[in-house]
Amino acid sequence: MITIALSKGRIFDETLPLLRAAGILTPDHPGNSRKLILATSRRDVRLIIVRAADVPTYVQYGAADLGVAGKDVLDEHGGQGLYQPLDLGIACCRMMVAVSKDFDYGRATRQRARLRVATKYVQTAREHFAAKGMHVDLIKLYGSMELAPLTGLADAIVDLVSTGNTLKANNLKAVEEITPISARLVINQAALKLKRTEIQPLLDAFAGAAA
């Protein structure tokens, strides 16, 4: 049995065509089913639905053999125990620094002001500001980072930006790109050795469909 860990939403939806290319179809969709384990058209392949940030953990410990996770999530996780052979080119967006529309970020950085930065991505933010030689106080949040500059909790946020609509709707502006983000295939390193004959064809089909 091969177990593939996916998260609901964009990653699931954009992975479906890649699964199809590997001959894997699923009658259930997490949008209209509460099932956490989904059977597929292949008796030897099942999907599990987990939180996006939990995908690397399931694969790291071998509870799933394969998974699809955003680079944002993998950077925070650290990637231990994971083989990352393939950028799938899906769920693309950008990791950005954003501030209130009227906040002068350029001046704050020139003056070497010590900024308060709210984010779910503390590891990524820490590395980014350290590389710039900026001292920041990081505040860990779990959601709705856009509220932080609006309520005085923080001067800036580090968050994913896709269309930019969320920033605009909340009177925020992006001021710096940290890194482009896309989803990667991750494989448990031990599973790749032990189940190579089963996993390699999936890898090849994903690579062909992602190219």
Give me the residues paired with residue 183 across strands: 70, 90
- Cβ proximity to ligand AMP, 160 vs 205, nearer residue: 160
Does 159 engage in binding with ligand AMP (CB under 6 A)? yes
CA distance 135 to 61: 35
**Which H or E run includes 87?**
strand 82-100
Does 166 engage in binding with ligand AMP (CB under 6 A)? yes
Binding mask 69-98 for ligand AMP (x = CB under 6 A): -x--------------------x-x-----
Binding mask 95-134 for ligand AMP (x = CB under 6 A): ----------------------------------------
Tokens encoding 202 = 């999936």
- Cβ proximity to ligand AMP, 113 vs 160, nearer residue: 160
| Shortest Cβ 27–ligand AMP spacing (Å) | 26
Does 10 engage in binding with ligand AMP (CB under 6 A)? yes
- Side-by-side strand order, sheet with 172-188: 37-39, 45-49, 2-6, 66-70, 172-188, 82-100, 156-161, 115-119, 136-140
CA distance 86 to 199: 13
Does 151 engage in binding with ligand AMP (CB under 6 A)? no
